[in-house]
Chains A and B, each alone.
Chain A
Amino acid sequence: MIVLDKRPQPSRLWSYAAPVLAVVLTMLVGGVLFAALGKNPVAVIRTIFLDPLFSEFAWFYRPQLLIKGAPLVLIAVGLSFGFRAGIWNIGAEGQYIIGALCGAAVGLALYPAETRWIFPLMIVAGAFGGWVWAMIPGVLKVKFGTNEILVSLMLVYVAESLLAAMALGPMKNPDGMGFPGSRNLAQYPSAANLELVAGTGLHWGVVAALIAVIFAYVVLARHIFGFQVRLAGQAPRAARFAGVDPARMVLICMGLSGALAGMAGLFEVAGPAGQVTIDFNVGYGFTAIIVAFLGRLHPVGILLAGGLMALTYIGGGIAQSNLGLPAAAISLLQGMLLFFLLAVDVLTHYRVRFAARKVA
């Protein structure tokens, strides 16, 4: 029978080869699926994975990758610290919403004042909002030992209700003919998160995501906190002996991930989305969890994984309009890609060998 032996260290070869294998497997199985749906599998796969990068209109799609990928990367980098340390914040979606609400509240309250301080203030408010929302499960865990997975998940629903209440009530655009949704912040120069270089898709959220990646890389590789995070995750008891305070670790990891998720929400609401609406959140907070794992909790890996996820969203949209592929097929393909990535990951951490069956 097949036996898995834990590798003393993750395999370097497989940590690079596994994602490639997963993508190839997804293409193969996905191809069969598309053929079953009566589409040309090669054309569909090419459209989803290559057209966004190398087609006639790639100059338009490539910036879109940044817009779609930036919030995923920003949130996932924040989450990766906690995940490494065994602290499970799965409520980033809620922190993203609250960050957007807090940031937008500042912008809307100051409307129509024009000073350059509004946008930075909004960023601070957004980060603060996300931080507060993440500190609730953090503090409860530290004080009462409450499970942070569940509390942070519950708070997503609370945040969603709050979002709807705000879009229909206090933040409703007074000039919006009674329709739900706030003023468009992207059209309010002092509060807008606009493209920094026209046509590139580069906005402050993208910059923040890149800074976060570099920051995380440096901290994990060089800083004592990065060492503590890794130690807490791999050997909690050893970490305690090494003087790592678990409570402090929880609060820092939760707070950091919340603040980054909140910032991601703010950049989105002030830029690409523009408005606080009932359906403002589109699941970035949950997708980012997947991105964090796909990227093996490594900053550079997360950057690549965020790009890959963005690619399937954008390629999926192109495949729908070009080839008439149903949206459901894209969601199925994404699910499959994740399954394969998670499945082949076993090769990175374990050695597979065949052994005679033990007589029980």
Chain B
Amino acid sequence: MKRRTLLASGAAAAALGLTGLPALAQDAKTKVGFIFVGPVGDGGWTYQHNEGRLAVEQEFGDKVETMFVESVPEGPDAVRVMTDMALKGANLIFTTSFGYMDQTVEVAAKFPDVKFEHATGFKDAPNLATYSARFYEGRAVQGHIAGHMTKSNVIGYIGSFPIPEVIRGINSSYLAAKAVNPDVQFKIVWAYTWFDPAKEAEAANVLIEQGADVILQHTDSTAPQAAAQAKGDVITFGQASDMAEYAPNPRVSSIIDNWAPYYIDRTRAVMDGTWETHQVWEGIGDGMVKIGEISDAVPAEVKASAEALRDSIGAGETHPFTGPLNKQDGSAWLAEGETADDGTLQGMNFYVEGIEGDIPS
């Protein structure tokens, strides 16, 4: 008998599934769900998102309840986890990897009363906002320091995958380095992984052996920092998290993914009933991209000029991509004084003039 009713209620609910599901199990607390692509112990991308979650708990105390599931593969498992959270009464769900895009769109359509936030994607809906960080702004500050600090004029860059996000970072740091040091040369290797300590260490070693004395990385482990330290006389920058354990040398500064202010803001908006969809791309000025403490290994005047650049980008006075700029093949891209539009930046698939080598396809 019990089984019958269970099945019957299941069928009824399944029928509901076609039209749109109400968020069930509402109570006074605002429930915020997070789905993570890696383990919270990865020390990088997911770790920083989880720091944002903890900041939400800290900020609102008893008024919120957060839940998270880690290491969720980008596919049907993501759909299941999101739906599960929505059913359990989540009011707001952050999906923190590009690969969750279509899944988030799918689940958001089924739960019009639940707010969704998808990181780094480009598809939105009335209850689905997207957010991403202008990491390239931070890359410009790194490039500036790198251009000043290099003695060999060779800067090594460890890329993960040849996607717009990474290419943007390379271009931005190259332009900033070039601005202070016209002789600078970039050596770029693609690791084809976001996280593989052994391979990242190898990539750093190769770059150092080929003359690089500054290593920029767009992969998440600290292995390149350790490799640089072992070789000595090479500087690095923290990626995703501060990597302060390698300060003051080799790590001279870092780009920190600082999601906490945004997560707190959006949670508050849901509590106040003022949440609206948007597509935001926030940078240094909004605090989403943070520049880690510039260490004493950097001369005071370089530190000062780097901080000035940071503040000027943050205030919107300087744009890392300001004309005149040509593409790698020499064709004109931006005219004198023109700044790059977001559309071009988001789909960036070319190097700027001066960078050698081809983007793998």
On A, residues with C-beta under 8 Å from B are 54, 56-64, 67-68, 164, 168-169, 177-181, 184, 186-187, 198-200, 268, 272-275, 277-280, 282, 313-314, 317-318, 320-322, 324, 326-328
Contact = CB atoms under 8 A, between A and B. Distances in A.
A180 B161 contact: yes
16 contacts: A60-B87, A61-B84, A67-B80, A168-B162, A169-B361, A177-B347, A178-B164, A179-B98, A187-B102, A200-B14, A282-B73, A317-B81, A321-B68, A326-B40, A327-B70, A327-B71
Nearest to A184: B102
B88 interface: yes
A59 B346 contact: no
A3 B79 CA distance: 50
Given A57-B87, A279-B99, A322 B67 contact: yes
A273 B75 contact: yes
Contacts, number: 113
Contacts of B83: 60
A56 B18 CA distance: 19
B67 A314 contact: no
Given A54-B6, A282-B75, 6 more contacts: A177-B346, A268-B75, A273-B76, A279-B99, A317-B72, A326-B70
Contact of B164 (A59, A177, A278): A177
Contacts of A164: 192
Nearest to B361: A169
Interface string B340-354: 000000111100000
B348 A320 contact: no
B337 interface: no
A274 B102 contact: yes
B163 A180 contact: yes
Contacts of A198: 14, 17-18
Contacts of B102: 184, 186-187, 274-275
A64 B84 CA distance: 11
Pick from B9, B15, B74 the residue with the most CB of A within 10 Å.
B74
A60 B13 contact: yes
Contact of B84 (A67, A180, A313, A318): A318
A87 to B, nearest CB: 30
Contact of B76 (A57, A61, A67): A67
A169 B163 CA distance: 11
A117 to B, nearest CB: 25
B86 to A, nearest CB: 10
Interface size class of chain B, counting residues whose CB lies under 8 Å from the partner chain? 35 or more
Contact of A321 (B6, B84, B348, B360): B84
Interface in B194-249: none
B147 interface: no
Contacts of A58: 6, 10
A57 B84 contact: yes
A187 to B, nearest CB: 8
Contacts of A282: 73, 75, 77
B102 to A, nearest CB: 5
Contacts of B68: 320-321, 324
B291 to A, nearest CB: 26
A64 B10 CA distance: 13
B11 interface: yes
A352 to B, nearest CB: 38
A1 B151 CA distance: 73
B14 A314 contact: no
A240 to B, nearest CB: 44
B80 A64 contact: yes
B60 interface: no
Nearest to B37: A279
Contacts of A318: 84
B236 to A, nearest CB: 26
Given A58-B6, A317-B81, A321-B67, A279 B74 contact: yes
Nearest to A200: B14
Contacts of A168: 161-162, 360-361
Given A199-B18, A321-B33, A321-B67, A178 B73 contact: no
Interface string B66-110: 011111111111011101110110000000001100100000000
B34 to A, nearest CB: 9
B84 A60 contact: yes
B39 interface: yes
B184 to A, nearest CB: 26
A59 B9 contact: yes
Contacts of A268: 75-76
Contact of A59 (B11, B76, B80, B161): B11
A277 B74 contact: yes
A286 B45 CA distance: 27
A328 B38 CA distance: 11
Contacts of A200: 14
A199 B10 CA distance: 9
A328 B115 CA distance: 29
B45 to A, nearest CB: 14
A317 B192 contact: no
A329 B327 CA distance: 50
B346 A272 contact: no
Contacts of B76: 67-68, 268, 272-273
B84 to A, nearest CB: 6
Nearest to B35: A321
Interface in B270-293: none
A68 B102 CA distance: 19
Contacts of B17: 198-199
